[in-house]
Amino acid sequence: MVLVDLKLLSKEKENIKLSGKDGYCFIFNDVIIKIYRHPKNKSDVTDWSSYQSSMISFPKRYLVDGKGIIGELMPFFEGELLVSAINLKTKLSLLYSHYYEMIKEIRNYPEIKMNDMGIVNILYSEKKGFILIDVTEWKKDINQIDNNIRLFDYSLICVIFDQILIPGSSILRTVFPKNALKYGKAGQEFINLLKKCLIEREYHFLEMMEAYNRMYKIHYSMDLKTIDNMKNYTKLLKKD
């Protein structure tokens, strides 16, 4: 634990990078200082100081004063929030490559329950891939790989299928038109995966993308290259 002078930090408002419901952050060189809106007890946080990763922003130290634990220090990573980083220009070949890298990294930590992983605490760039940030709510647990992959897959599905392809309508409430079934097995597979999202809350990002690509390939005789290809095909599918 280390002490921090909040009066000193308050003079550095120009260095605030992000402010949210849990606190606000300052960037100093390659370090982010996050100050909680409400102090925490020692039992509320987990010591991650022995963990090192180039893809996960584990806190290195916690900040304390007379009120308790008031913040944390963590490494700075470049990238945009997932919710804005993935867009129509996103190249799927790079997205898949970075996806496999992150799944491999998640599998390295079966003892961690990655609570609160979502579209606002995942960074992405085509150059550096995915970064998991803001791990304050993570806890030590056992056999968490499947659950953590599920959370990661759900985040990608929300951004691509819910926000980009079907904006304004939740994938957990919407099933693509039955016209998808005219694409035979590929269409049926895709509909079944959507139903799993709706009914069983099972999220399989890669399988959904592969099934969608098979439908696209039946229509265009080529593979999907970008999110824009998916967007244009979705418009066509809904009109059929």
Segments making up each domain of the chain, as ranges: 2-75, 80-239
Q: How far is CA 67 from CA 3, 26, 32, 63, in A?
A: 11, 20, 21, 11
Is pLDDT above 60 for 7? no
pLDDT at site 184: 81
Place of tokens 């997205």: 95
Is pLDDT above 60 for 175? no
Third-level CATH fold of 80-239: Transferase(Phosphotransferase); domain 1 (1.10.510)
Helix (H) or strand (E) holding 71: strand 68-75
Q: Dump pLDDT digits (tens) for 42-57.
A: 888 899 999 999 999 9
pLDDT at site 16: 54
Helix (H) or strand (E) holding 185: helix 184-195
Q: Dump pLDDT digits (tens) for 123-138.
A: 999 999 999 998 988 9
Is pLDDT above 80 for 240? no
| Per-chain mean pLDDT for the chain | 85
Rounded-to-integer distance, Cα 78 and Cα 178, Å = 41
Q: Dump pLDDT digits (tens) for 88-116.
A: 999 999 999 999 999 999 999 999 999 88
Is pLDDT above 50 for 168? yes
∠178-192-91 over CA atoms, to 5°? 90
Put simply, whether the predicted model's pTM sits higher than 0.95 gets the answer no
- Contacts of 177 by beta carbon, 8 Å cutoff, 6+ apart: 237, 238, 240
Is pLDDT above 80 for 78? yes
pLDDT at site 208: 92
∠116-121-122 over CA atoms, to 5°? 115
Q: Of 53-57, 59-63, 84-88, 180-184, which gets the smallest average pLDDT?
A: 180-184
Span 201-217, average pLDDT: 92
Residue 150: Cβ within 10 Å count: 18
171 band by pLDDT with thresholds 50, 70 and 90? low
pLDDT at site 100: 98
Grouping H, G, I as helix, E, B as strand and the rest as coil, residue 70 is strand
pLDDT at site 1: 45
Please name the residue ranges forming H helices in 17-91: 82-85
pLDDT at site 3: 45
Span 148-169, average pLDDT: 88
